Amino acid sequence: MRINNRMIRVSDIEVQVVRKDIKNLYLRVHRPDGRVQVSAPLHVTDDDVRLAVTSRLKWIRKKQSGFYHQPGQTRQKIVSGESHYVFGRRYQLEVVERRGRHEVLLNNHSTLSLYVSPGTTRSNRQRVLNAWYRDQMKDRIPALLEKWQIVVGKEAAEWGVKRMKTRWGSCNINRRRIWLNLELASKPVECLEYVLVHELVHLYERYHNDNFKRYMDAFMPEWRVHRDTLNQRKGTDLFDLEIK
Ligand SMILES: [Zn+2]
């Protein structure tokens, strides 16, 4: 099979074009980086590819921003020996059953100790841990917000932390209210900062368009690195679109 490979640019999007002996043109947006790849039949010209990509720009941007909003939640058993992360640092979980108050403590920079009553269910162990993670977020956010609101030049009127399945953050533009995903407490703190900046930038620009990216580049030039850290997942998910 003859295959050739080249990069073209469509609007602000770099597109990798792979020509092969196939019948249809396929457009893919790769996870986690949002890279766009087109597999095209041999006879299809670059202009045809450009046209196909241009007609799907909206779909591509939606997929790319979907990666931004998609946390990779993994369900753990919440038992001793598991790895749990606190602001990007790995701790080994130690579940200690004892009478008395539920409590979470960090020990020796390496152990995350969860004290619970004997026989506490998985979902209750998770609840205790989540409450503790929420406190960690609420301790960190005010100083980070103060720092980034000055840089961005916009202020949130309200903010909160909650569990979200499909988003790292959200912003109600009219109310200037920002929600942050609880799961950010396990990611490096730069990721939390990135989401804060991202949501604050929505106070200038509703859409994830070129204008939005210009703001991000101005306020946090390395934002793409943090975005990729946030969206790292095992395995690859492809979103395919077939164009006939
Ligand atoms: Zn957004």
For 111-156, the pLDDT digits (tens) are: 999 999 999 999 999 999 999 999 999 999 999 999 999 999 999 9
Calculate how far, in angstroms, residue 158's C-alpha sits from the geometric centre of ligand 1. Answer: 17
Looking at residue 1, its pLDDT comes to 54
Task: Pick the more confident residue, 229 or 138.
Answer: 138
Calculate how far, in angstroms, residue 205's C-alpha sits from the geometric centre of ligand 1. Answer: 9
pTM of the complete model: 0.67
185-213 pLDDT, tens digit each:
999 999 999 999 999 999 999 998 999 99
Maximum distance among all alpha carbons in the chain? Answer: 73
Domains recognised in the chain with CATH numbers: 4-70+238-243 (no CATH), 83-204 (3.30.2010)
Q: How distant, in Å, are the alpha carbons of 43, 96, 106, 118, 120 from that of 99?
A: 73, 10, 19, 7, 11
78-124 pLDDT, tens digit each:
999 999 999 989 999 999 999 989 999 998 789 999 999 999 999 99
In this model, does residue 244 exceed pLDDT 50?
no
In the block, tokens 């395919």 appear at 240
In this model, does residue 238 exceed pLDDT 50?
no
Calculate how far, in angstroms, residue 76's C-alpha sits from the geometric centre of ligand 1. Answer: 28
Looking at residue 43, its pLDDT comes to 86
Question: At CA 187, angle to CA 68 and CA 114, rounded to 5?
Answer: 135
Q: Which string of DSSP letters, residue by residue, matches 98-143?
A: -SS--EEEEETTTEEEEEE-TT--HHHHHHHHHHHHHHHHHHHHHH
Looking at residue 198, its pLDDT comes to 95
158-177 pLDDT, tens digit each:
999 999 877 899 999 999 99
Calculate how far, in angstroms, residue 92's C-alpha sits from the geometric centre of ligand 1. Answer: 33
Calculate how far, in angstroms, residue 198's C-alpha sits from the geometric centre of ligand 1. Answer: 6
Calculate how far, in angstroms, residue 89's C-alpha sits from the geometric centre of ligand 1. Answer: 26
Calculate how far, in angstroms, residue 174's C-alpha sits from the geometric centre of ligand 1. Answer: 15
Helix (H) or strand (E) holding 66: helix 57-68
Q: Which two tokens stand for residue 199?
A: 């949501």
Calculate how far, in angstroms, residue 163's C-alpha sits from the geometric centre of ligand 1. Answer: 17
Calculate how far, in angstroms, residue 202's C-alpha sits from the geometric centre of ligand 1. Answer: 7
Calculate how far, in angstroms, residue 229's C-alpha sits from the geometric centre of ligand 1. Answer: 16
36-86 pLDDT, tens digit each:
888 888 888 888 888 888 888 888 887 776 665 555 546 789 999 999 999
Contacts of 147 (CB under 8 A, 6+ apart): none
Q: What backbone phi and psi angles, to 5 degrees, belong to 127?
A: -65, -40
Calculate how far, in angstroms, residue 195's C-alpha sits from the geometric centre of ligand 1. Answer: 9
Using H for helix, E for strand and C for coil, what is the string for 10-57? ECCEEEEEEEECCCCEEEEEECCCCCEEEEEECCCCHHHHHHHHHHCH
Q: What mean pLDDT comes out for the span 214-232?
A: 91
